[in-house]
Homo-oligomer: A and B are copies of this chain.
Amino acid sequence: MHSFTEENYLKAIYKLMENDGPEVSTNAIAAHMNTRAATVTDMIKKLSAKKLVHYTPYQGVSLSTTGKKAALSIIRKHRLWEFFLVEKLGFRWDEVHDMAEQMEHIQSPELVERLDEYLGFPKHDPHGDPIPDAKGRLPETEAALLLSAQKGKKYKMSGVIDHHVLFLKHLDEIGLKPGCIIYVDQITSYDLSLQIRINGGKPLFISHQIARNILITSSR
């Protein structure tokens, strides 16, 4: 249906749209995809001809209904495969992105639905990101930043903002991963660093830099 490249553009536009609003700039896409603005313009025209995006020259681009659906389908596959890689094959959550990046392009609606069922219809991937259902609907996700946590309370880690491998690896090393319970013992007002305990373990210091990239929900 769509080429790998087209799928990657749709996904990129979707993610940028999620963060920065519906109108996505050529340069933002170029930066996100590590290509040149001229290349992006070419591809946007193609996606526009296929009615996957709305495009007015110089005004940025936004996903059409079909484009959004396509993007969500790719994201669904990506996240289901990530879940598979962690839960079934035993990879760590910081290892699976690049593999899923390839697997998300496998074309077979039947395969996706069977995989979903096989995995027990998970709602979130190993990073805590919501998995769209077969219709492209995202599960409700109420989440706050760890830096907005209150002293003395406990929370459940529900995901991350930053998805870079080095960040994820660091979190994994200190024992932080989605699902764990975080007890907030101290908040240093000077540098906004936190002293926490994970699942009731020993105290751990978390910088503001890290706390702003961790998502939490009320525990239970």
Contact = CB atoms under 8 A, between A and B. Distances in A.
How often does this chain occur in the complex, in copies? 2
A118 interface: yes
A98 interface: yes
Contacts of A85: 111
Most buried by B among A105, A108, A110: A108
A88 interface: yes
A107 B118 contact: no
A66 interface: no
A99 interface: yes
A102 interface: yes
A144 interface: no
A28 interface: no
A89 interface: yes
A165 to B, nearest CB: 14
Contacts of A89: 111, 114-115, 118
A7 to B, nearest CB: 13
Interface in A83-121: 85, 88-91, 98-99, 102-103, 105-108, 110-111, 114-115, 118
A102 B111 CA distance: 12
A99 B118 contact: no
A88 B118 CA distance: 8
A160 to B, nearest CB: 23
B99 A111 contact: yes
Nearest to A103: B106
B98 A114 contact: no
Interface in A103-143: 103, 105-108, 110-111, 114-115, 118
A114 B99 contact: no
Contacts of A99: 106, 108, 111
Contacts of A111: 85, 89, 99
8 contacts: A89-B111, A89-B115, A90-B114, A91-B110, A91-B114, A98-B108, A102-B105, A103-B103
Interface of A: 85, 88-91, 98-99, 102-103, 105-108, 110-111, 114-115, 118
